[in-house]
Each structure stands twice: as C-alpha cells, then as structure tokens.
Structure 1
Amino acid sequence: MLRISLLLGIVLMHYAVQAQSNFSSKLIGVGVVVSDIDRSLAFYVNGIGMVKTGSFTINDEFGKRSGLTDGVAVAVTVLKLENSPEANEWKLMSFGKKATHPAQKNIQDDTGMQYITIQVKSLKPIIERLKQQKVVFLGTTPTPLNKDVHFVLVQDPDGTFVELIGPLE
C-alpha cells in the first residue's frame, strides 16, 4: 500500500511539473492602451516611480498581419518597477483617443483588467509624489492593513486602479 501511495505521489508530481513547464518565462507583460501617453508616463514614472526600460514600434504591416491593430502603427513604451530582467513589463501605448467606456468609480463598474497591485518598501515618498501631481486618493487612505502595512488606492489618468501596499516609512 505504501508503494502504491508513493508511486501515485510521484506520478502526480510529474504532472504538476509538466503543467508548469509550458511557459518559457515566469513573467507577465501587460499592454495598456492609454488616452494620453505623456500624462500616463508622468503618473507611472514621476508619481509611482516606475522606470522606462525600453520602447518599440508596432508598424502598420505587423499590426495588420498579427491582428493587433488592424493596420495602425503604434509606439510602445516599456516600464518596470526596476530595470531588471526579473521584473514584469507594463507596456504603455496610445492611439490618441479617449476610452469608449464610462470612467469607473469602483472596481465593479466595468469588466476586464481593473487594477494592479504594487508592493512597496515605503509609501511616504510615493504619496508625496502623487500629491504633487494632484492625484486623487480613494477611500480613507492610507488604510492600515496591520500595524506595519498600509493600503493606498489611486487611479491612473485613464481610470485603472492602482493599489499600493507597504509600510508608511
């Protein structure tokens, strides 16, 4: 009986490892279409503290062939929390037009990707930078999650909710 249980455990572990091996990277890159690239870059770089790590252009031919843009060229700016190969990519692009859906006041107001969560070492400098940019803080923030960690909620210029979690200092 012990041998059967051990064999079953080994087989299950093999399938668990196989399922995880489908991906060539553990990172996720997120493409975000924004209405005003300069305003969004100011929010994410100067307010949140992300860094620009690169850029590229999707030309009209590739946009059409790939199905991404139906033949419209677009420049993409790549941001990360730090300039490291282990950091996820937050890719901003703009077609110079406003969103067609209504602005969200709460997460439940729309479908799709609504928010991102960023863990920080200290909320204080980010709060100060966002206040300088006149970013509206939502709810009663910073909200304590425990004696050491607080939660801050803001929205980027296009309404994506940004959760910031970490100690105040």
Structure 2
Amino acid sequence: MPQFPSLKAVTCAAVLGVCLFALTGAKEKVKSVSKPGDFTSTTIDFGIVCSDVERSVDFYTQAVGMTELDSFDVDASLAQAVGLSDNQAFRVHVLVLGKGENASKMKLMEFKKAPGKKSNQDFIHSTLGMRYTTIFVKDIAAANLRMIAYGSMPLSKGLQEIPDGRFLGVYRDPDGNFVELVGPKAKK
C-alpha cells in the first residue's frame, strides 16, 4: 500500500515553498529600485579611518599623487546622530584624484580618543569588507618608481602585465591597506 506524506510534512513543504518564492520575488524587486538618473553624481567618495592621518595624507599626496582639497570637522553630536561614531568628533581630510566635479574623493580621518583596531591585511580575502583601492595611472613605470621612492614596495616581483596589456602593481598604505595601481607603460 503506498505511503502518503503526513499533513504536517505537506504543510511544512508548502510554507517553505511560499517563503522561497517570496524571497526570490523580493530579490527581483531589489534589482530595480534605482535608475541611473536617480544619482546626482556618478562618482563614489569613500572614507578611510587611519592610525595617523597626517602620515596617510603624506602617503596619498606624495607617493600616489593625489591632491589635498580641504578638511572639515564633524562634531560629536552630528557624528552620533547619523551613526558614524559613538559621540566622537573628528576631522576629515579630503583628497582628490584629478580635477573637476567628477574627480574621485578620498576622505581620511583619525580618532585619537577612540583608535580603531587593525584588521587582518595579509591578503584581500583575509577580512570581509572593502579591501583595496584601484587607481588608474597614465604611466605605471613612473608611478611604481614614485611608490618605491616613498618606501612602499610592490607586493609582487615587479609590475605584472594583465590580459588587456596594461600593468598592475599592488602596494600598501601606512595602515597596510592595499593600493592597486593600473596603467600602461609610457612609450618613450
């Protein structure tokens, strides 16, 4: 005589199916939440918390070649109200790559009263989260020499050619964050 599943098993399977269907449908909705015209800028600015902000500003301006635009203070109450800190005030140093309104901006800051903890920086897969910054250069050989002169040695044995014919060098900033430089070797 054939065995039929119990009512409890059928109910559980139905509930699971409805949940999976709902989740799949939700994913489809998330894909279409925004449109390209919803943004006022196509540039993404990003912030890095540093152990020594002056040293990091020096690295990114002198070794990488960015320009410091300005700095501004974020008071403790605003920082707490928007969820950025636990009532810690801080100063943000704004660096820019290039000129114009579409130039990428890097915001460097330090919390002297509440220093952050270092994450595992052995490899990009060692810790979750944003892991490296890619900067596209016109002359990778010149950029590589600038990094070496600053004291930031490439992690690989020299520059590595990538499939599209450009070259890649990976370095570390003063806090050990990965900085990837990509570009052609300038023709002489």
| TM-score when normalising by structure 1 | 0.82
- Aligned residue number for residue 108 of structure 1: 125
C-alpha displacement of 1:146: 4.9
Give the 3-state SS of the residue equivalent to 2:146 in structure 1: helix
User: Please, which of 27, 37, 41 is the counterpart of residue 57 of structure 2?
Assistant: 41
User: Please, which of 83, 87, 90 is the counterpart of residue 103 of structure 2?
Assistant: 87
**Greater Cα offset, 71-80 or 135-144:** 135-144
User: Please, which of 66, 69, 83 is the counterpart of residue 85 of structure 2?
Assistant: 69
Higher strand share goes to which structure?
1
The answer to whether the 8 Å contact 1:57/1:73 transfers is yes
Give the 3-state SS of the residue equivalent to 1:139 in structure 2: coil
**Greater Cα offset, 20-29 or 68-77:** 20-29
Residue identity (%): 32
The alignment yields a C-alpha RMSD, in angstroms, of 2.2
Q: Which runs of 5+ in 2 are unaligned?
A: 1-31
Q: Quick check: 1:132 aligned with 2:186? A: no
Give the 3-state SS of the residue equivalent to 1:106 in structure 2: coil
Give the 3-state SS of the residue equivalent to 2:49 in structure 1: strand
Which letter does structure 1 place at the counterpart of 2:49? V
Question: Number of aligned pairs?
Answer: 155
C-alpha displacement of 1:147: 8.0
Q: Which runs of 5+ in 1 are unaligned?
A: 1-15
| TM-score when normalising by structure 2 | 0.74
Structure with bigger RCO (C-alpha 8 Å, 6+ apart): 1
